Amino acid sequence: MSTGSATEISIPPVYRAFLRDAFEAFLAERDEPDWLIDRRRRAFDCFEQSLTQPLEPEEWKRLDLRLFHTLRFTPPVRDRSGLVTQVDTMLATRTEFGASVSHTDGTAGPSGTRELPAGVVFCPLTEAVRVHEDIVREHLMTRAVLPDTDRFSAWHAAFWNGGVLLYVPRGVVLDRPLHSVLGSSAADAADFAHTLVVLDEGASATLLEETASLNAEGSALHVGAVELLVGRGAHLRYVQIQNWNERTWHFAHQAGRVEQDGFLQWTVGGLGARFAHIHQTVSLDGRGAGAEVNGVSFATGRRTLSYYTQQTHCAASTRSDLLYKSVLRDRSRVVWRGMIRVEPEAQQTDGYQRCDALLLSPESRMDAIPGLEIEADDVRCTHGATVGRVDDEQLFYCMTRGLTQHEAMHLIVSGFFQSVFDRIPVTEVREAFDDAVVQKLGLGD
If the CB atoms of residues 145 and 412 are measured against other proteins, the closer one turns out to be 412
Q: Helix %, strand %, coil % for the chain, to 5?
A: 25, 35, 40
If the CB atoms of residues 344 and 415 are measured against other proteins, the closer one turns out to be 415
Question: At its nearest, how many Å lie between other proteins and the CB of residue 99?
Answer: 33
If the CB atoms of residues 382 and 418 are measured against other proteins, the closer one turns out to be 418
If the CB atoms of residues 247 and 410 are measured against other proteins, the closer one turns out to be 410
DSSP string, 27-54: HHT----HHHHHHHHHHHHHHHHHTTSP
If the CB atoms of residues 215 and 414 are measured against other proteins, the closer one turns out to be 414
Distance CA 92, CA 180 (A): 9
- In contact, 267 and 177? CB cutoff 8 Å: no
Question: At its nearest, how many Å lie between other proteins and the CB of residue 435?
Answer: 11
If the CB atoms of residues 345 and 391 are measured against other proteins, the closer one turns out to be 391
CB atoms inside a 10 Å sphere around CB 79 = 14
Which residues within the stretch 390-429 sit at the binding site for other proteins (CB under 8 A)? 391-394, 396-407, 410-412, 414-419
Total residues interacting with other proteins, rule: CB under 8 A: 26
Question: At its nearest, how many Å lie between other proteins and the CB of residue 193?
Answer: 34
Task: Please identify, among the stretches 74-82, 227-235, 366-374, 387-395, the one whose residues bind other proteins according to the rule CB under 8 A.
Answer: 387-395
Q: Decide if residue 35 touches other proteins (CB under 8 A).
A: no
If the CB atoms of residues 178 and 398 are measured against other proteins, the closer one turns out to be 398
Question: At its nearest, how many Å lie between other proteins and the CB of residue 358?
Answer: 10
H or E, element range at 399: helix 392-399
If the CB atoms of residues 3 and 400 are measured against other proteins, the closer one turns out to be 400
H or E, element range at 437: helix 427-442
The pattern of x and - marking residues 311 through 350 that bind other proteins according to CB under 8 A reads ----------------------------------------
H or E, element range at 441: helix 427-442
| Angle between helices 405-421 and 392-399 in degrees, nearest 10 | 110
Closest-CA residue to 237 (of 176, 192, 283, 280): 176
Which residues within the stretch 52-111 sit at the binding site for other proteins (CB under 8 A)? none
Residue 86 backbone phi and psi in degrees, to 5: -65, 125
Question: At its nearest, how many Å lie between other proteins and the CB of residue 116?
Answer: 37
Question: At its nearest, how many Å lie between other proteins and the CB of residue 355?
Answer: 16
Question: At its nearest, how many Å lie between other proteins and the CB of residue 296?
Answer: 13
Look at the alpha carbons of 386, 390, 392, 398 in this order and tell me if their dihedral is positive or negative: positive
- In contact, 322 and 351? CB cutoff 8 Å: no
| H, E, C per residue of 80-120 | CCCCCCCCCCCCCCCCCCCEEEEEECCEECCCEECCCCCCC
Question: At its nearest, how many Å lie between other proteins and the CB of residue 412?
Answer: 6
Q: Which residues bind other proteins (CB under 8 A)?
A: 391-394, 396-407, 410-412, 414-419, 438
